[in-house]
Amino acid sequence: MPRYALRIEYDGQPFAGWQRQADHPSVQGAIEKALSRLEDGVPSIAAAGRTDAGVHALGQVAHCDMQQDWDPFRLSEALNYHLKPDPVAVTGCVRVGDDWHARFSAIERRYLYRIVLRRAPLVHDRGQAWRVQRALDVEAMREGAAHLIGLHDFTTFRSTMCQAKSPVKTMDEIILDASNYSSGTEIRVSLRARSFLHNQVRSIVGTLERVGSGAWEPLDVKKALEARDRAACGPVAPPDGLYLTGVSYDPQVF
């Protein structure tokens, strides 16, 4: 069966997450429904990562096995036709080897978290960013984030429901940028690692917000990390501002 890699973009607001669920809409379910319109008996698709309810993607990657030998462009066009009106789009499609796997072949994942600082409710960015109603000290947040770079036990920053075998992960990069717009100041937190734990990004961002607000000192992030205790984590940031922006492979697929 020919295997295809799909690069996928979606708005997570209407979905209960990536993973297919019996009683709730999911991104995986929407794509598999579209695939079923093209062929009968298409196997379940696999993704590079399972995003939670309300989390978005600009560069999610999944693979599917088809019976027919589809031209990749025709397959992506057909999927996008049948995905309407769901806020999901296939932005790339490539034929890959039978042993290639969207999850297990990945060597890096990248996430972005958007924070908008303003008193007024969000209108155009509602559900697309976390609105924080006070100023944040970005430099202090950068100082706190520096303690998380490298190989660490991230027990403090993972969900109690996380199914990963080990809490030990390597955080390669955390970059914080701030820009002023007419709609408010936006802080963008970009994170890069081979893999992430369940709720790790949102836990980190929520903790850094505490540093930015002055409730925590930057060194408190290091203390929380070393505690290896979920109770030591700051509040978990909402899903609204989180985006899976890309997945890397060797050799690169897209």
CA separation for the pair 149, 43 (Å, rounded): 38
Phi/psi region, residue 35 (left: phi>0; alpha: psi -120 to 50; beta: rest), is alpha
Q: Are 76 and 48 in contact (CB under 8 A)?
A: no
CA distances from 222 to 153, 193, 232 (A): 12, 19, 11
The secondary structure element, H or E, covering residue 65 is strand 56-65
In the set 11, 23, 52, 177, the catalytic residue is 52
Is 52 a residue of the active site?
yes
Instruction: Report the length, in residues, of the chain.
Output: 254
- For 115, the token pair is 């924070």
Closest Cα partner for 144 from 221, 230, 235, 212?
221
CA dihedral 21, 24, 27, 31 (to 10 degrees): 80
What residues are annotated to the active site? 52
